[in-house]
Amino acid sequence: MTDASDTVPATTQVQDGPRGIGGWLILPIIGLVGTIAMTGFNLYSALAQWDGIKAIIAGSNEMASSLRLPVGVSFIGGIALIGMAALCLYRLFTRAPSVPRLMTIFYIALITVSFTEMLADYRVSALTNSDPDPNNVKDLVRACVAAAIWIPYFHRSRRVANTFRSREAAVDRRIGEIF
């Protein structure tokens, strides 16, 4: 026996709760844009010192050779973070069902890159006998707090479920009605 709701396509069903890009979902979007802007600015600042980068790549002396790994890891991490944030923005605006998983991966990558950046800065500081950047710890804490807030949001929010997982949200409601 079929129910009347079985014959109605999922796209025409009325969904309970908010739908669309709005509400609290604006804050992660602003965070993604900010991540792209700040990481891009940091990469540009590093590339503005191209003579030093060339010396590190060429390994002109012992210290420059030992700076290759931290500088390379920092550069690759920055590029990867920009790419991941851009992909998340694209998927958000196309309302892809993979958004909750992608945002989880992004926040874990943000923590990883922040931690790696902090370790690389400590390594550079030890090699150059300078003080490490105190903002690295703040960035790591900020990434951890953002992940603690937004990962559960992307997996539990009704707006996210209605916007990005409409078919899955309809199934979740049906299962909820059974029990």
Q: Give yes or no for residue 19 having a pLDDT over 60.
A: yes
What is the 8-class DSSP label of residue 133? P
**118-139 average pLDDT score:** 86
What tokens appear for 168 in the block? 């899955």
CB distance 137 to 118 below 8 Å: yes
Distance (Å, rounded) from C-alpha 62 to C-alpha 49? 19
Average pLDDT over residues 40-65: 81
The whole-model pTM stands at 0.77
The closest alpha carbon to 84, from 70, 68, 98, 97, belongs to 98
Provide mean pLDDT across the span 115-140. 87
In the predicted model, what is the mean pLDDT of the chain?
Answer: 82
Q: In terms of pLDDT, which residue wins out, 74 or 178?
A: 74
Nearest-angstrom CA–CA distance, 85 and 58: 31
What is the structure's pLDDT at 56?
78
CA distance linking residue 93 with residue 178, whole number of Å: 33
Look at residue 123 and tell me whether its pLDDT is greater than 90: no
Residue type, position 172, single letter? D
pLDDT attached to residue 178: 62
42 burial class (0-12, 13-18, 19+ CB within 10 angstroms)? Answer: middle
What percentage of residues in the chain have a pLDDT greater than 90? Answer: 40
d(CA 74, CA 1): 60
Residue 152 has pLDDT above 90, yes or no: yes
Instruction: Quick: pLDDT tens for 86-117.
Output: 999 999 998 888 899 999 999 999 999 999 98
For the chain, which residues make up each domain, given as ranges?
Answer: 24-178
